[in-house]
Amino acid sequence: MAEEPPLLVRREGAVVHAVMNRPERRNALSLAMGEAWDALLGALREDREARVLVVSGAGGHFCAGLDLTEVASDEAPAQRLARQQERNRRIGARFAGISALPQVVIAAVQGACHAGGLGFCCAADIAFAAADARFCAPEVRRGLVPAQILPWLARRVGRTAATRLVLEANVIDAAEAGRIGLVHGVLPDAAALQAQVAATVAAVLEGAPGALAETKGLLAALGPVAPEGYAAAAADAFARTATSAEAAEGIAAFRERRRPRWAAG
């Protein structure tokens, strides 16, 4: 039996739906899913017929972030460091690519929206959540850093709220996400979320395609999401932490459902 693709893409006229499809892992971002995303973004950059991209997740979850089972490896330290640098750099470029699309990007969030999931949510132009959505930047509790999501999170909610999210690393509910501006609206259930997304798609399609793309360009021209050099520095920081003893302990604790040694006591 053929394995399900990690990213399901379907088209309804001018609307493209991208569904992250690893429900058994709460749609955690694997290398294969990342490659599928890159292929889709490359195609959409040149697509003048598509006008809206709707991003969601299968199985009642949005995206639980990076698949931590792919972080650890038996490679030599230098190889692991280089691999993590390149992977994190590509993740940052992916969020930038989503934001830079000429299409209007709408995120529809249910369930877990953690770590890299926040990057997808915040890189989107508009985001809505069902009441069951939960948001978290848990990296520091795994011995990692929220490298590439941080600029997008700070742009969406402001530096003060982003600081608390990434340093406390607590889970917040959809109501709190709406209060701080992480999402543009909270709906009572999946059906209401779907209806809101449909209404927003319809509103967007009332706008002229060229004018919408130009407006997105003007928004981008207001200032970069991060200063020059940030993406490379973030990739280096992630690689250093991902290959550290802290990450080894943090990821092991996560897998074993226990507190890491630094939090014990």
pTM across the whole model: 0.95
Query: In the chain, which stretches have pLDDT less than 50?
Result: 1
The reported pLDDT for the residue numbered 15 is 98
Domain positions in the chain are 7-189
User: Residue 133: which residues within 8 A CB-CB, separation 6 or more?
Assistant: 62, 109, 110, 111, 113, 173, 174, 177, 183, 186
Integer-rounded Cα Rg, in Å, for the chain is: 18
The reported pLDDT for the residue numbered 93 is 95
How is residue 216 written in tokens?
């997105």
Class of CATH domain 7-189 = alpha beta
Enter the DSSP assignment of 235.
Answer: H
The reported pLDDT for the residue numbered 73 is 62
The reported pLDDT for the residue numbered 265 is 61
Number of alpha carbons in the 13 Å side-chain half-sphere of residue 139: 26
Encode pLDDT of 229-257 as tens digits: 999 999 999 999 999 999 999 999 999 99
User: Residue 115: which residues within 8 A CB-CB, separation 6 or more?
Assistant: 64, 65, 66, 136, 137, 138, 139, 146, 149
Encode pLDDT of 181-202 as tens digits: 999 999 999 999 999 999 999 9
User: Residue 257: which residues within 8 A CB-CB, separation 6 or more?
Assistant: none
User: Residue 9: which residues within 8 A CB-CB, separation 6 or more?
Assistant: 16, 17, 18, 19, 40
